[in-house]
Amino acid sequence: MNIAITGGTGFVGSKLTEKLKAQGHVVYILTRSPEKYADTEQVKYVGWLKEAYKPAKELPPLHAIVNLAGESLGSGRWTEEKKQSILESRVKSTGSVLELINRLPQTPEVLVNASAVGYYGQSKTKSFTEQTTTPGTDFLANVVDEWEERASQADEKGVRVVYVRFGIILGEEGALPKMALPYKMMVGGQLGSGEQWMSWIHINDVIGLIKFTIENKDVRGALNGTAPNPKRNKDFGKILGEVLGRPHWFPAPSFALKTLLGEMSALLLDGQCVIPEKAITHGYTFQYPDVKPALEDILTN
């Protein structure tokens, strides 16, 4: 298959490219700076998002587009300017993907658009599946709702659209190294009350689910990209400490995190219990359904 990826040089994108290449597919990475990279037989770098670039003329007929573009949520305080940038980076990049689809001579079969469990808002008592169709009311929920609405417009062009609502992605990059650092320094512990849910997923299952959505034509719309066994923060932290051989005893008070991080502290203090019902019912088998083996694979191998 010919598969185009935006955000293809990032953590998830690079892992996905490796997997697709190993399976014999050809990957076209859409980037602002194609001159920085050298093409190979299976990985091509195509310029986009600049007027000089004409990606629709360079790309072959595509089976799928995977849109992973978007500014990191965890880099810097959420000023009003930062929040606008978070929203625009997702909505505009998705809009650019739609423009590309309109210009392609042949319409791709599927658009897999990254999304987030933030769609559901926060709750310490509820569980959420894809059957929950009313978004939360906080900033992140509003971002995700607008993000998905833009992606869904590809359906009007006959493209099957899947937006994968990822939880906390566990891997050697991303959030896990930051979570593990306090434990390595012997000051790890729960954040705030510790009762907030952490809906997580191993990077291998992230890649597995993306491939699964590309290959299964009956999967469309929202798909929760989380492991089937979420954990409360206090339990996740205890297991993380066990895997690292470090104590779990030094709690970080909510007020301190809110003072330090401002509104961005919601990423640490709030959460949601998200169940990947659609993936399970459609037959996806998780490589890492439980958190301890997932952490052991990443942190001890």
pLDDT (tens digit per residue) in 11-36:
999 999 999 999 999 999 999 999 99
Residue 77: pLDDT above 80?
Answer: no
Task: For 157, list phi and psi in degrees, rounded to 5.
Answer: -95, 10
Residue 255: pLDDT above 70?
Answer: yes
pLDDT of residue 264: 64
174 pLDDT tier (thresholds 50, 70, 90): confident
Residue 266: pLDDT above 80?
Answer: no
Residue closest to 295 by CA, chosen among 235, 233, 242, 251:
242
User: What are the sequence ranges of the domains in the chain?
Assistant: 2-300
Residue closest to 111 by CA, chosen among 96, 92, 98, 93:
98
Instruction: Say whether domain 2-300 belongs to CATH 3.40.1210.10.
Output: no
DSSP-derived pairing of the beta strands 160-166 and 273-274: unpaired
pLDDT (tens digit per residue) in 103-134:
999 999 999 999 999 999 999 999 999 999 99
Q: Which range, 47-56, 265-274, 288-297, is most confident?
A: 288-297
Burial class (CB in 10 A: 0-12, 13-18, 19+), 108: buried
pLDDT of residue 75: 66
Q: Which two tokens stand for residue 15?
A: 């892992």
- CA distances (Å), origin 284, targets 165, 211, 278, 279, 287: 15, 10, 9, 5, 9
Q: What is the arithmetic mean of pLDDT over 250-257?
A: 79
pLDDT (tens digit per residue) in 175-200:
899 889 999 999 889 998 999 999 99
* Better pLDDT: 265 or 80: 80
Three-class secondary structure of residue 70 per DSSP: coil
Residue closest to 7 by CA, chosen among 63, 81, 89, 82:
89
Residue 74: pLDDT above 70?
Answer: no
* Better pLDDT: 88 or 259: 88
Q: What is the arithmetic mean of pLDDT over 138-145?
A: 90
pLDDT of residue 252: 82
Burial class (CB in 10 A: 0-12, 13-18, 19+), 165: buried
Cβ proximity of 276 and 228 under 8 Å? yes
pLDDT of residue 84: 86
What mean pLDDT, rounded, does the chain reach? 92
Cβ proximity of 301 and 171 under 8 Å? no
| 79 membership: H or E segment, kind and range | none
Q: What is the arithmetic mean of pLDDT over 142-168?
A: 94
Q: Over pLDDT 90: what percentage of the chain? A: 75
Neighbours of 81 (CB within 10 A): 9
The one-character DSSP state at 191 is B
